[in-house]
């Protein structure tokens, strides 16, 4: 499938900012089942950009803007060719050993309620366990397509009837790690994400011995397929955030996000 992607992030500030420094994790990588045909990042004002990689191996673009800045828009556009893979990640150079992804973070801290629930789903075969976990999370929650609440942990999301894709993926990671399977958060795009509330998508991956990393999307209860474009991975959503950074200046900020993913 050939997917056309447009992602615009706009910031408006109530007072001029002296300087902005942002790390952009907005560039997907090629893999066996994902080929970037065309990709570009545009900024609507003078800026300095420098490409690199973070500690997880994600492609990053450091963005430096000198003020005064009252508003700024970051636009991504491109096309990615994807193919069916049953969720198995192939052809990606891994920077870190799988065991590192057993670590927890404040957002994915072990929660007693999640751990007790996950223990009841354990099967003899790890892959069967993970698919069961993914399906059970999908059945338990109504998907909330609103903007995720910054800093909400998996344990806090567990007590709610509705959860965002970010929440669901972090709940999956907590449960999978408790069952001994390394798991990580994935940020990217999905053609079937809610178009009324367009935001980047999030799902999870878990390590299965003799198979490698396998994707699981609790929003669908299935593994990601050719409708998904994989961009960045980390221990939690904050580590794989599309845009993160700091600003020098007073006042509040307003954020608007527009995402469009279509079959080209």
What pLDDT, on a 0 to 100 scale, did the predictor assign at position 193? 58
For residue 125, with 0-12 CB atoms within 10 Å meaning exposed, 13-18 middle and 19 or more buried, which class applies? Answer: exposed
* Residue of 260, 255, 193 lying closest to 9 (CA atoms): 255
Domain 2-80+243-263 is found in CATH 2.60.40.2250:
yes
Q: Token pair for residue 184?
A: 């990580």
Q: Token pair for residue 126?
A: 């790890």
Model confidence at 213, pLDDT cuts 50, 70, 90, reads: very high
Taking the mean position of all CA atoms in its chain, how far away is CA 172? 13
Per residue in 75-104, pLDDT (tens digit) is 999 999 999 888 999 999 898 999 999 999
Residue 248 has pLDDT above 60, yes or no: yes
CB 73 within 8 A of CB 10: yes
What global pTM score does this model have? Answer: 0.94
Q: Where in the chain is the domain with CATH 3.10.620.30?
A: 83-240
Q: Where in the chain is the domain with CATH 2.60.40.2250?
A: 2-80+243-263
Residue 6 has pLDDT above 90, yes or no: yes
Q: Rounded to the nearest 10 degrees, what angle do helices 126-140 and 165-178 cross at?
A: 140
CA within 13 Å, CB half, 20:
28
What pLDDT, on a 0 to 100 scale, did the predictor assign at position 197? 52
Residue 117 has pLDDT above 60, yes or no: yes
More confident site: 195 or 68: 68
Per residue in 10-62, pLDDT (tens digit) is 999 999 999 999 999 999 999 999 999 999 999 999 999 999 999 999 999 99
What pLDDT, on a 0 to 100 scale, did the predictor assign at position 194? 53
CATH numeric code, 83-240 = 3.10.620.30
Share of the chain above pLDDT 70, in %: 98
What does the DSSP assignment read for 229-250? EEEEEESSTGGG-SEEEEEESS
What pLDDT, on a 0 to 100 scale, did the predictor assign at position 121? 93
* Residue of 230, 232, 179 lying closest to 61 (CA atoms): 232
SS3 string, 149-196, reads: CCCCCHHHHHCCCEECHHHHHHHHHHHHHHCCCCEEEEEEEECCCCCC
Residue 195 has pLDDT above 60, yes or no: no
What does the DSSP assignment read for the chain? -EEEEEEEEEEEEEEEEEEEEEEE------BTTEEEEEEEEEESS--EEEEEE-TTS-EEEEEEEEEEEEEEEEEEEEEEEE---TTB--S---SS-GGGGG---GGG---HHHHHHHHTT--SSHHHHHHHHHHHHHHH-EE--SPPPTT--HHHHHTSSEE-HHHHHHHHHHHHHHTT--EEEEEEEETTS-SSS---EEEEEEEETTTEEEEEBTTTTB---TTEEEEEEESSTGGG-SEEEEEESSS-EEEEEEEEEEE-
Give residue for tokens 């009324």: 196
Model confidence at 148, pLDDT cuts 50, 70, 90, reads: confident
What pLDDT, on a 0 to 100 scale, did the predictor assign at position 57? 95
What pLDDT, on a 0 to 100 scale, did the predictor assign at position 188? 96
């Amino acid at each position: 499938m050939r997917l056309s992607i447009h992602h615009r992030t706009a910031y408006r500030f109530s007072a001029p900012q002296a300087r902005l420094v942002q790390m952009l994790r907005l560039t997907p990588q090629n893999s066996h089942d994902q080929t970037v045909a065309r990709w570009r990042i545009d900024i609507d004002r003078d800026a300095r950009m420098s490409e690199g990689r973070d500690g997880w191996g994600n492609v990053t673009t450091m963005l430096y803007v000198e003020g005064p800045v009252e508003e700024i828009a970051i636009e991504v556009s491109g096309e990615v060719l994807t193919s069916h893979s049953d969720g198995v990640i192939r052809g990606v150079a891994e920077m870190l050993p799988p065991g590192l992804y057993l670590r927890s973070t404040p957002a994915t801290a072990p929660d007693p309620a999640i751990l007790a629930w996950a223990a009841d789903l354990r099967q003899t075969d790890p892959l069967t366990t993970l698919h069961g976990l993914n399906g059970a999370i999908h059945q338990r929650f109504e998907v909330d397509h609103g903007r995720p609440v910054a800093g909400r942990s998996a344990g806090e999301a567990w007590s709610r009837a509705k959860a965002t894709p970010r929440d669901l993926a972090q709940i999956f990671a907590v449960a999978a790690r408790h069952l001994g399977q390394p798991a990580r958060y994935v940020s990217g795009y999905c053609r079937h994400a809610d178009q009324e509330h367009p935001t980047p998508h999030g799902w999870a991956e878990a390590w299965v011995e003799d198979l490698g990393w396998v994707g699981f999307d609790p929003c669908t209860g299935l593994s990601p397929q050719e409708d998904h474009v994989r961009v960045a991975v980390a221990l939690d959503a904050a580590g794989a955030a599309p845009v993160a950074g700091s600003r020098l200046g007073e006042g509040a900020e307003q954020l608007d996000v527009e995402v469009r993913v279509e079959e080209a």
